[in-house]
Each structure stands twice: as C-alpha cells, then as structure tokens.
Structure 1
Amino acid sequence: MATRRPNQLPPRAALASAQIDQATYLGSAEHKQRRWWGGLPMAYVGPDGQASRPKRQITTICPLIAEAEREAATEWVRQALRLRQYRFSEGDKDFPKHIWYKDDSGQFWFGFCVNSIQGQYKGWPIEEEEKIAFFG
C-alpha cells in the first residue's frame, strides 16, 4: 500500500487572482540543452545519452526554448495555481514551492518555485507516476 504524504503544513488559503496573475515561468539553464530565451544552456548529454548538469549526476531536459513556449508555460503555471495543483512547504513565502500541470497533450509538468515572493518558476516534463508519487 502506498503511503500518502501528510497534509500541507501550515494550511494555506487559496491564492488571490491578482497574486496568481503575477506568477511567471522563467525556465532554467540547468534544464536546457539548446540555446533558449535565457541564453546558453547548462545541461549536457553525454555519449551514453544521459543528460547531466554541473554538480548533478542526472537531470531532466526541458524542451521549451522559444519565447512563445515561455508564454504558454507561464499560463500553465497560472492555471496550476488556479486549480490548486500545488503543495506548500513550511518555509514557503507567498507562492508554493511545488506545482504540477497536465497540458492538452497529456504531458505532466513539474514546477519548482525559484522566487516564492514574486512567484517565479522553473519546470520540466515528468511522467504521471512521478506526479502521483510526489503529489498523490
């Protein structure tokens, strides 16, 4: 039997619409393999086909590199927040550290808050099993 994660601590009220509207997707060089709107990538795919990044053994590559994809991902972040598809951690400030979203193609995305006051996120694709394991 799978163990469920404990309830969010501390309990939080839903985010206000104005707060959600300020949330954005920034992306992260460490999850990019090609030049992207933020500049040069930091992830590397070795001869074995395994993606890695500095000081990490493996990483998940985020395929979003065009400005239009950044805008779409910002909408995903906002939609995840509207639907309360998130988990606050005890040290979070205004925005939850972890969010998830399922896009129109059925792909799940994991979002990680890099600025909990301004609501700035990075993210990458995940499998449904990873989503269930993390969020339940």
Structure 2
Amino acid sequence: MPKPGQVQTRDELTEHEICSASYVGSGEHKVTRWWGGLPQAWLDAGGVASRPGRQQTTICRLASEAERKQATEWVRDALANGYFRYGDGDKTFPKDIWYRDATGQFWIGRCINSVSGEYKGWPVDEVEKREIFD
C-alpha cells in the first residue's frame, strides 16, 4: 500500500466559493497610501523596503480601489484555473496562488484567511518565481 500524500486531495472549489474570494492586500508590501490606509513596509536607512533579519520585502504597487478590484479578478481567475497549491492546515481556500497578468508580470498570492478566501499578493520576477515553484 503506498504512503498517503503530504496534502490531502480536496474537492474542487465551487463557483460560489471562487466568486467570494478577494484580494485585500497588505500594508507590509505597500510604500504608498492604499485603500487599506497608510503603508506599513519597513524602509531601511537607504529607503529600501526590507525586514531586519529576513528576506527583502517585495513591494506591491497596487494602491487604488480599481487596482484592488483588478487583483480580486486575478485571484478568482487563479482559483478557477487551478493556479494554486494547498498546504497542510488550509481550510476551504489554498494558501498559495499565482497569476500572470496581461503584461507578463507574475504575481504570487498568499491566503490570509483560508475560510473566507482573502488574499494578499506581490509581483515576482523570473528568479523569484523559480525559487518558489521549483
């Protein structure tokens, strides 16, 4: 008998669940005022976003309400097309999603509420994309 996989197989997300998912963003990836309020990215002495003792913070340039709505569509598209990966402990929604926008930019989404389907996200370059998915 083969060993069970690390992550259980799951039922597909329903259309209702996909339509309820949203992009809420995160101040830790913002350096300008955004729909959620003031930016919270930590800037070092040189003005570069970083987190002391951790990897460099990637800045998300989405700040307007229109951009939030667009990112919500990206989240829903990623979920509808299977561009996601569940992790141990995930509830209804998968922890990691990804999307490639019309300009070719890759975006990573991280679920911050696995029951209601709320995501934050940020752009990644090709090197970061390979590090995450390889």
- TM tier, smaller: 0.7 to 0.9
Equivalents in 2 of 1:132, 1:57: separation in Å?
Answer: 16
Q: Deviations over 1:72-108 (max 9, x none)?
A: 0000000000111000001000000000000000000
The residue that corresponds to 1:118 in the other structure is 116
The TM-score with structure 2 as length reference comes to: 0.88
Question: May I ask how many residue pairs the two structures share in their alignment?
Answer: 130
CA–CA separation in structure 1 for the residues paired with 2:108 and 2:6: 18
Q: Stretches of 4+ moved more than 6 A in 1?
A: none
Greater displacement, 42-51 / 114-123: 42-51
* Greater mean alpha carbon deviation, residues 70-79 or residues 123-132: 123-132
| Contiguous gaps of at least 5 residues in structure 1 | 1-6
Distance change in 2, residues 1:43/1:17 (3 Å): same
Query: In percent, how many aligned pairs have the same letter?
Result: 55
TM, length-normalised to structure 1: 0.87
Q: Distance in 1 between matches of 2:127 and 2:98?
A: 13
Q: RMSD of the alignment, in Å?
A: 1.9
Name the counterpart of 1:95. Answer: 93
Aligned counterpart, 1:21: 19
Change in Cα spacing, 1:53 to 1:132, as seen in structure 2 (3 Å) is closer
